[in-house]
Structure 1
């Protein structure tokens, strides 16, 4: 007999490769997997879009294309630890994009909104209300962060045209609140005067001589705070709404 006395080896099962793992792999540059994932989840995308529109959606419709783009956007923006599974997050992003589209097209009747939990064919809730709300909150927060970062970068580039960097600006920012508020007031006077604002934008210089006709402070004060006044003026003129807290009145 050739019976072996060796104990049988237990085969270790490899950890499951989750959908979220695939998302992180795509975010690290696997474009083939991205295309494969988008292709395999077309039924999911079509299902979500159809539910929002309350009608059948096929691949030739604009709504479907928007759903595809939104799914791809969700792949790019999904992050670990945000409080929801990827499909919950993707569902929410697709819904948001479709609703935005329908509003723009003035066809918002019978739209399904996010505060209505979805149910599957068996009447079971697909995702919990709390989980969907967590995904919505996270997405909106990320959108705000992204917008703020983009505006900061644009603002930084604009300041460079005036020879101002953030480092220089931090050093030349008036130390006292009343001095900062005075400089902000000068900036507001400038942006509300079309002639002065155009001078700043075209010449890339502060129209100090002209400003003195509208303000009560001395030329020396304006010159001392010149870069700060320019920086505040450009927040107004550039429409950098995300930087609004920097130009709002301060309290002592």
Structure 2
């Protein structure tokens, strides 16, 4: 029976490889005429970062650094800018981990679409740790419960949700993600980026990739986490590419929240 299970696994993986590469080639994502440099960068980034947001940002910056990576309410970021800013936040996270003797970074994000959610997602891929995506519709009680039950030690939060923060925040560092008003000396993603990475720890060559936890929203009670490992290869993407006419270089408007989009892109 164990042999059959192994054979079934090999058969499934082989079929998934063929399906993924076929769909990616038809979408123009894979190019048989790509340079040796691009091929090396692709597999090197995959080996280091798996299929995390960090891998996507890293490879985009290496192959097309000046191309627009993200357009949001705050403006436009190229892939190089997005990579550099994400790396800076990742180094800040590593310094926080060292300074506060945190065993494992447990990073939560409650933010709308934009750099406020993308940068900390990419930073997690660079620094390592676990990532918790929280529905922006979560109540103050639900947010407090998520923080407490999951031992969250870093929270990136859009300031429009400031009224949902729990009063007691022991062992929790709050970083304002997207801001609509000044925050003085409080931590913001923008302030972390502007302060730069001088004196910060170096990024690990092979980060310890923890899970992404989707805090499934419920109408009542504390949302329960749905764990998904960071995939080594994005087999699930093949189905999307066959069904949706996405092609390389296409600009896509993400109307649905990243909380829901990322849940759909994670393998089951």
TM-score under structure 1 length normalisation: 0.21
Q: Report which of the two has the higher share of helix.
A: 1
In our comparison, the structure showing a higher alpha carbon Rg is: 1
Q: Report which of the two has the higher share of strand.
A: 2
Structure with larger RCO (C-alpha < 8 A, sep 6+): 2
TM-score under structure 2 length normalisation: 0.20
